[in-house]
Structure 1
């Protein structure tokens, strides 16, 4: 089977964390790439993020890929939104199975690449960027308290990094209630690069610095390692996961 894209990924727990609650998944033949950032007491965060990267590929394979060629783009996005909601329900129900896991959850950001289009979905503050023609553009918009305050003009982006609500998210897999996943599509071009990451990167490193590094570094694995090193240089206090995807 032809590889739809080439990728590299790297995940580190960061200097201030005892464990890594991030998880990632990549299947270049399927064209599916996922990152999740877990949260919850005990081992809840680790379990929630692992559930995301194991259950979502199954849901997409069974509920979308078999019929995707007969769907319109809007129908595909609607179905993707439904599957992300189902994922959230599954994570929530797993959290009810054990007392110590109550309230566990995870962000999710994913891209499904099919016939020259990237179908993008997310909940939370893990992000997906498009790097094209030396320009970095965000394809997701954080579901977070600080992003809402930025949008309403209450605080600046710089103030958000140190705000008391930094890290609090409004949508995630495993939440109690119906989530509102964001879904969109992107028509891909040759030599496009996708950057997917948790807030361990974007919470400390400016987008301009990320773009500058991507302009200089072309090899995928080296790019991931350099981005994580950049986050660590800025005293990253969170788990850091980075994935780079080059479109074939």
Structure 2
């Protein structure tokens, strides 16, 4: 088996309308080990509040994941490493949520802030993705595009109930209304899925500043045609800005190179973290001008 090779690129852009970028992105690729991750957060709650919340989230996740490759981790079995990775990711999500809530309590001007979150980590050929809100992760390989996350949003619930099509959701007046976010309540309700990758692939993470304009067909076309693959980051941002750029746009890509084999397989290890008492929430993102 050929060794796993990972490369990463990411960028956030203010867009064409907003006065401040409330998105945050953090990308990391280890120089020696097959380990990489991307964190994307899309803040809300006013200009400064949104940027603060998304910044807290990306920093908290990065701090947890940056320290993962300890001697204890590297000496563990692959199964144990996967469990350690999952636990580290969960701890980071919970820490980010806690820090945002704590900041809101001490800074009244940030009382409405919160953020979406999507984070993807690859260790060797193991991929794990966590998300809260409507920032997304996609996987593309020569067999096609697979969306790895399901939006926590009002329109997604309507699609699931058969009350709206995906095409109608693109122009819905409630398309920016999300049902989960970091910084709303404890404990946080996050979804975590994992896969074993058996095929060279591209992993895309993005905020809804991209998916506001690019449907799955457009995303697949850009990932399939632009090379070097990591340059697709710039093509995605240009695509959204050309079509209007009404929101901030964040895009990150991990290029996973592995031996030839089968399509990435979902291993069935799907986890939804449920709070002891459900906190119902519907949050409208982007509450300031420029909606």
TM-score, length-normalised on structure 1? 0.90
**How do residues 1-248 of structure 1 correspond to structure 2 at under 5 angstroms?**
5-29=6-30, 30-61=35-66, 66=70, 68=73, 69=76, 71=80, 73=82, 76-77=85-86, 80-248=89-257
Judging changes above 3 Å, is the alpha-carbon distance between structure 1 residues 17 and 134 closer, same or farther for their aligned structure 2 residues? Answer: farther
SS at match of 1:103: coil
The alpha carbon displacement at 1:109 in A equals 0.7
| Partner Cα separation in structure 2 for residue 42 and residue 206 of structure 1 | 27
The alpha carbon displacement at 1:93 in A equals 1.0
- Note the residue ranges of structure 2 that are not aligned, 5 or more in a row: 258-291
Q: How many residues align?
A: 246
Could you give the per-residue CA deviations for residues 108-141 of structure 1, whole angstroms, max 9, x where no partner exists?
1111111310111111111110011151110111
The alpha carbon displacement at 1:187 in A equals 1.1
- Note the residue ranges of structure 1 that are not aligned, 5 or more in a row: none
| Partner Cα separation in structure 2 for residue 45 and residue 79 of structure 1 | 25
Q: Contact 2:230–2:255 (CA<8 Å) still a contact in 1?
A: no
Greater than 6 Å deviation, 4+ residue runs: none
Judging changes above 3 Å, is the alpha-carbon distance between structure 1 residues 72 and 26 closer, same or farther for their aligned structure 2 residues? Answer: closer
| Partner Cα separation in structure 2 for residue 111 and residue 155 of structure 1 | 29
Q: Contact 1:39–1:106 (CA<8 Å) still a contact in 2?
A: yes
Larger Rg: 2
SS at match of 1:31: strand
The alpha carbon displacement at 1:65 in A equals 5.0
| Partner Cα separation in structure 2 for residue 153 and residue 177 of structure 1 | 31
The alpha carbon displacement at 1:4 in A equals 5.4
SS at match of 1:43: helix
**Deviates most, 5-14 or 135-144:** 5-14
| Partner Cα separation in structure 1 for residue 140 and residue 233 of structure 2 | 14
CA RMSD of superposed structures (Å): 2.2
The alpha carbon displacement at 1:189 in A equals 3.1
TM-score, length-normalised on structure 2? 0.78
The alpha carbon displacement at 1:191 in A equals 2.2
The alpha carbon displacement at 1:203 in A equals 1.5
The alpha carbon displacement at 1:144 in A equals 0.9
